[in-house]
Each structure stands twice: as C-alpha cells, then as structure tokens.
Structure 1
C-alpha cells in the first residue's frame, strides 16, 4: 500500500500533463522512499526505469541498453556505444509520445562516467528540449546531487525544469503506517524508527509496541539491529571515524570542539566529517532562534531518530542483545528511559504541528521562522531554554512541549512566561502555546479561557 507523498505525486502528474520536455532532479537520503514514489508515479505511464549499479561504465551502459531494447521489443540490436547514442535513440523513438525515463541511483552512473553530465547538457541544449521526454535523475547521496547536479558549477545548471529534496515523513504521515496503535504508541514508534518509509513499513500492527521495538532493534536478526553501521559503510570511506563522531554526539557532545575531543580527532578534520553527516541527513546544525548563521552558539545534533535511538539503546547493549537478553534490555534499560528520550522527539512533533497549522493559516499570524532558543538568563546566570519560538519578525509565539505522565500545571506556564521575558519588549504581547502529552490541569484550562493569547494543545489535538 502506498502511503503519503500525495502532494508530490500531484505535482509530478501536473508536470507530466504539460507534455513537454522535463529534466527533474529528485534526491534524498537512503530508505526515504524515492524509488517507491517514482514507481507509483510511473505505474500508469510509458516508462523506462533504470537503476544504476556500482559497476563500471561499460556494464551500466550494456544493462541500460538491454532495458531500452526490452521496452521497445527489440531483440537483435547491439548495446549502445555511448550514452549520447542511447539518449538520441530514445528521443527519436518518442518524437510523438510521452515517456518517463528514470535514472535511479544516478550518482553511481556519474561516478564511473563523469562525462554523462556534459553529454546531458549538450543533448538538452541542442536536441532533447524540443522533445517530450520526462527525464528524472534520482540519487541518495545528497552531497553529490547538490554539488554536482544542482549547483552553479554543474554542467546541468539551468537545464533542470524542477527539483525535489524528498525528506522523511513527519509524525502525522508516519502514524498512517501504524493503524491500531494508540496515539502515544504511534509517536513512540515514530521516535524509534523516524519518518523513513522503509523503517515505518517494518511496524507490525499485530504486535505490541514492545514486541515491535524488540523485533526491529533488540534482536541480532532485527532489520535495524545493524542498519546504522551498514548505511555508514555504504556511504562513507571511513565508517569507523564517522561512527565515533555520531557516538560522541549521541553521548551528549554538541559543539564541534567537544565532538572532536570526544571522538579523538583533530577539530578541523572532525568538522569535515560532521559536514558530511549533515549532507547525508544524519546530523543537523542548529543555532538559537534569532541568531545569525555562523553563531558561536552553533551546535550539532542527530536529526535521524533511528540513529538516535540506536546509539542510545543498541550500541551500548550489543553484548546483551547478542546473548539473547533483548527482552531484558527493553524492560530494564529502554522502557524506563523512554519518557526522557521522547522529550526531544515530542519537541520535533510539536514543531511539525506548528508548521502544518501555519501552512493552512490556522495560527494567529503567519510565522516565517521557528526554532529552539537557548542562552544565559542574566537574572540567574544559568542556562535557559525555550522549546520553540515562532515569529514573523513582529509577533511571537513561545512554546513549551512536555512529554510527561502528569498534567501540565500553572507553574509550567509561569516558567514559560519568565523565560519569554528574556526577549524584552518582544514578549509583552506575545502568545504562549503549551503542548502536553497528558493534558492540562483545570487551572491551566481556566487561564486559557480567560486569555486568548494562551493556546493549549493536547496529544489528541496533534494527531487530528
């Protein structure tokens, strides 16, 4: 069953109906669902779908030739002598009819045939632009796709007709993979597997939350038991060093210097590894809300929940898991800590909710920026943090997000207002939003009825 990506499919179909040449670039991290999406798009259309292999140029060209000849019912033609001849052949055959031509895993092809980008440039400029081909270049290595295909230095710069960075699903679309589970269980599974389509497809609706976590992560045969290590080996040349960097961040290091020291690497060298992990979508760079890019307060964090869950609960317990103690690891080490782990996940969920509400105009104003804020409270000389701040440059919403088993009370509301006051005049007429897994006390509800600037959102509200 195909879940999600309805908007993207609609936009692809609209481009297809234009009945003119298209060169579309689709990219995103592995397992996010790019290939599944393209197959769904192509299922009712004439299509040649080629997945490039980590092989040499000759074998790729031969296999592509076979795929082309199969599409046209040709049985006695020799493989194309070049990519140019292959594309010109398809162009001539499709002079009167639309065809989708997909190059999946395009970086594999470009790596062994660097000239293919220039060949495409020349053909687009002189031949293909006058035809009806719908070409899709799809790749998982985001650094390559952004630098070698999309950037100004690429031979294809200015030739593409569209692009899409396909990102993991947000929490609400991810929940569609989990019918039958409670809202709390859906968000917990999302916090473990993240929004990656392939991982969400592993969730078994006939098993409990605990059984699903154990089956995916806490058994040597589980699909996600080795997944981070396998991905790193596939994407980078020194997986051991990258592993050390991720482990340092998972262990609490957040600034580049701290990460380098904990990973045992030189600071400049470590920053290169960090940047690569950001390109792969495993890490992200974060600055406090309102700070400029390049701020000295920049930190790095794991953006992929599957990596975050794995390094928190699997990496440290592999000996136990491999001796059959996965069930005990769940009961004694994972389950008691889940409430703490889910705190940051819930902040991301609340942020996604705010973005959804903003997109359809259901908030008091249309914000243009949203993020976490942290800094020093001059009154106490201690570090203060606001879970989310949203603003259009004039109006503000300050948000507190709590994944706790008790209801959120007036003390928490006052604490948020105290921290918002650090923004000075900008907080005077600001709105406050409280997000709570377990609801609110009667006193907080009464405060919201008396003050339209206070917004309350329960977990059920987030899951509508």
Structure 2
C-alpha cells in the first residue's frame, strides 16, 4: 500500500500495518493498535481501510443493543446492502465479521474497542473463539484490528489470563511525534520557537489543525499572543483539553486526587515523598494513584542514575504540565473573557521555571538517547537518566541533569558522559569547572566512571567565547545549542 500524502510521517506505523495486512497465510489474524487520544490512530486506520477496501467501524459509548445496531448499519453501508444488518448478539456479528475476507486479506477495524467491551464484556472471548483452530479452517483471511485510546485497558487485552493473550500478530502503539518531527509538522523554522511550542502542546498532531484551526505562531514575538488566542482562550478546545484528558480515562475515577498529583509534579515535586507532602497525605496513600497515572501514560517514573530504588515522577504530556503550572492556579481569571493577557504576563516566571526549563532538560535527554552520535558520547549509549550524586565529604549532594551509560568491551556498564542543562543561562567556565569537579567525585566513588567520561553542556542561550574555544581544543567536551539539539548529532 502506498501511504497517502496527507498522512504526516508515520512511516514505521504504515509499514507495520501493511506487513500485517499483506500477510498471505491462511485464516484470520489479530492486531491491536493503541495510543493516546489525538495521535491520529483513527486517521491512520481509516486510510488503511480506504486503501484496501477494508471495513472500518468506530464504536460509541452505547448499550449493547445500540452498538449492534450501529455496527449492522455500518456493515450494510460497507457491503452496499439496502438495509441495515440485524444481529441478535455479538456472537452472530463476529461470525459475520470473520467471513468478510476471502483468499485475499481484508482488514476489519473495530475502533474505540473499549466502548464495545464496556457494554459487552464477553466480546474478547468471542473473538478468541473466532480465532480458534476450528474457525480458522474456513480460510477467511480477515485481518482484524482492535483499536483504542484507553492505554491500561488496551494493554490488558494481551496480558495475564486475558482471552486474547497469545493471539495477536501485531501490537502497535502510535506515539506522539518526536520533538524534531513536531517542529516540521508545525512548520517552524526557528528552533527556539519550536521548543516553546513543544513545551506547551508537545507532539500531538490534532493540536496543530483541529484544535487551533491551523494557527501557528509566526515568530518569537507572536508566541505569547498565540498562547493567549489558542491555549488561554475559553472559546478554544485546548483551554479545557487537560481536564478532558483525565475525564476520558475510565480508570481515573477520583479526578480531584489525580489533578492534585499532577499539580504537585508540575510544581517541582518529583519524588513520592515530595508529592505526598504537597498534598498533605502519607506517602503510602499515593501508591495506587501514581500507578494508575503511569498505566494510562500520563506520568513516567524515571529511575535515579545512582540510586536504583529512588525514582522521579514526570508528567508525560506537555499540555498537562502547562495546565497545572500555569492555568489551574489562575482558572477563575481565565474563565472571564479579556483577562488571559494579564494572566500570561504575570505567569512568565512560572512558565520559564516550571514549564520551559524542565521541558528543555527532558529534550536534552531525548537528544542523547535518540540523536547523539556515538562519536559525541564516546561510545554506544545503553541508557540515559538524571540523578543525584552523593558527596559525603561535604555532607551534600549534586544534581546531574544528564547521565549517559554504555557498555565496555567486556560487557560491564560504564558512564560515558555527564551533562548539565540550562535554558536561560549563557554557559561558561563556572559550569564547566563544576562538571569537572563532579567527574572527579564520580571517579572516586563509582568504578563505572573514568577520565574518559565526557562532559555535555546544553544551553538555549549560548556559550561564552572562552568555552567555545575550550571545546575546540578538547575531545572530552561537547557543547549543544538549540541548532544542534534540533538538527545535529
């Protein structure tokens, strides 16, 4: 299948779907497609069905009888029948679905599958039976694709004792766009502007067109006005998007508690104890909400580079960070027309310290993980983290924004590089000397470090002439500005 020109990127996803659908083996096969809302899953799967003559059905929140009626109507439209198909139950409907294919593979997409299962819990078991050996003998080459945005539910379809465990030939997750792809998608030439836009809306494709009517900031001077007219505007869908993201997740029942957890993280509390202190709760009370938020993909838990049992929680979706750091504290004023500009103007310090700065650190780690060349890091990286380095002699500890691990020739873990990330500071001699001291401390405490451990310095504001000169003379020092972050390795 040729990917339609209107689909931006998604080359990998399209190739995997093509390989799944073109499989020439006999009988039906099952695929599961998941991903956060607004990532273009529906657009992608509908394009697949249009390209191959497949059947696409999008479920709604309905009763079982309503869902069967809607399914029968959609199937009749697909087959060209003059009247809707009538099904007594899903057992009968699935039997018909499995007969749609002939010798040539035919894709059948059941989108928003969690809605169907909520009304008809037996549906996964019926599909399991339809994929069994007896049913396969009919030779119908249906390529059944189950799609949904409820990540915890979709993940559970193929795990444990679930009926469909071991049945799927495809398990595809459609992610948000990488920050470099997001820059291209938004058509932003200036990397400084691309960074700011990504810090607010991330790489979610729907926010580019449907949610902003194609409105992108023209330049850095237009960034603030763009935020005001699209994100802080009560008439635009981005205004309430963060609230809807939580409301749409079926596993998040006590939304006040989950919003509180996200607010605590957005305020800079990344440990479980810090989050508990912010909320006035015991640390043991947060195990369940943190696990649920992690399962639905709204937060991530990053292990500390030097303390295996210590973790830092971070919000995975930028629009959630922006909402909890900037919008939620000012919600009363933002709901009143005409006050958005005042709110934005007095929120600049919070935006820089709670949104843009932490987001820049995150992108720096992503750059090391996905874009930095082995020559830059001094070897092939195996993992990237941040961490707290103890300094017992001085009774203190030191934060390292970037710690890059690799493997030695004898397969022992090594520390390839350490790094510091500053959004608004021009990096100079003092920053370099600090990391040199920390490298020496690390060498004295950790056998994985060595004098060959490199130093990475990231800055959006630039570097002093002295530091630029030093970088040209040294092989253990790398300077990464915004241009290199977005275009170099």
Question: 1:292-371, aligned counterparts within 5 Å?
Answer: 292=308, 295=309, 297-323=310-336, 324-334=338-348, 337-338=351-352, 341-357=355-371, 363-371=377-385
Cα deviation digits, residues 185-204 of structure 1 (max 9, x gap):
11101001122222233361
Cα deviation digits, residues 377-396 of structure 1 (max 9, x gap):
22332231111111122351
Distance change (3 Å), C-alpha of 1:354 and 1:319: same
* Alignment counterpart, residue 172 of structure 2, candidates 142, 157, 164: 164
* Alignment counterpart, residue 152 of structure 2, candidates 143, 156, 168: 143
Give the match for residue 427 of structure 1. Answer: 450
After the TM superposition, which of the residue ranges 95-104 and 304-313 deviates more from structure 2? Answer: 95-104
Cα-Cα RMSD: 2.4
Give the match for residue 19 of structure 1. Answer: 24
Establish whether residue 380 from structure 1 lines up as the match of residue 403 from structure 2: no
* Alignment counterpart, residue 12 of structure 2, candidates 7, 10, 13: 7
Question: 1:87-236, aligned counterparts within 5 Å?
Answer: 87-126=94-133, 127-128=135-136, 130-147=139-156, 149-201=157-209, 202=212, 204-205=215-216, 207=218, 208-235=222-249, 236=252
Distance change (3 Å), C-alpha of 1:446 and 1:340: farther
Give the match for residue 437 of structure 2. Answer: 418
Give the match for residue 266 of structure 2. Answer: 250
Give the match for residue 32 of structure 1. Answer: 39
Establish whether residue 399 from structure 1 lines up as the match of residue 419 from structure 2: yes
Query: What is the CA-CA distance between 1:248 and the residue it aligns to?
Result: 2.5
Aligned residues: 459
Contact 1:321–1:329, Cα closer than 8 Å, also in 2 = yes
Report the TM-score when normalising by structure 2.
Answer: 0.87
Contact 1:358–1:366, Cα closer than 8 Å, also in 2 = no
Moved over 6 A (4+): 359-362
Distance change (3 Å), C-alpha of 1:455 and 1:41: farther
Partner SS for 2:347: helix
Partner SS for 1:331: helix
Distance change (3 Å), C-alpha of 1:167 and 1:373: same
Query: What is the CA-CA distance between 1:93 and the residue it aligns to?
Result: 3.4
- Once residues 253 and 357 of structure 1 are traced to their aligned partners in structure 2, the CA distance between those partners, rounded to angstroms, is 29
Contact 2:298–2:315, Cα closer than 8 Å, also in 1 = yes
- Once residues 158 and 40 of structure 2 are traced to their aligned partners in structure 1, the CA distance between those partners, rounded to angstroms, is 21
Contact 2:73–2:84, Cα closer than 8 Å, also in 1 = no
- Once residues 270 and 40 of structure 1 are traced to their aligned partners in structure 2, the CA distance between those partners, rounded to angstroms, is 42
- Once residues 140 and 19 of structure 2 are traced to their aligned partners in structure 1, the CA distance between those partners, rounded to angstroms, is 17
Contact 2:425–2:459, Cα closer than 8 Å, also in 1 = no
Contact 1:339–1:403, Cα closer than 8 Å, also in 2 = no
Contact 2:13–2:174, Cα closer than 8 Å, also in 1 = no
Note the residue ranges of structure 1 that are not aligned, 5 or more in a row: none
- Once residues 439 and 15 of structure 2 are traced to their aligned partners in structure 1, the CA distance between those partners, rounded to angstroms, is 41
Contact 1:372–1:387, Cα closer than 8 Å, also in 2 = yes
Establish whether residue 284 from structure 1 lines up as the match of residue 284 from structure 2: no
Query: What is the CA-CA distance between 1:261 and the residue it aligns to?
Result: 4.2
Report the TM-score when normalising by structure 1.
Answer: 0.92
Query: What is the CA-CA distance between 1:303 and the residue it aligns to?
Result: 2.0
Note the residue ranges of structure 2 that are not aligned, 5 or more in a row: 1-5, 407-412
Distance change (3 Å), C-alpha of 1:443 and 1:22: farther
* Alignment counterpart, residue 276 of structure 2, candidates 260, 263, 266: 260
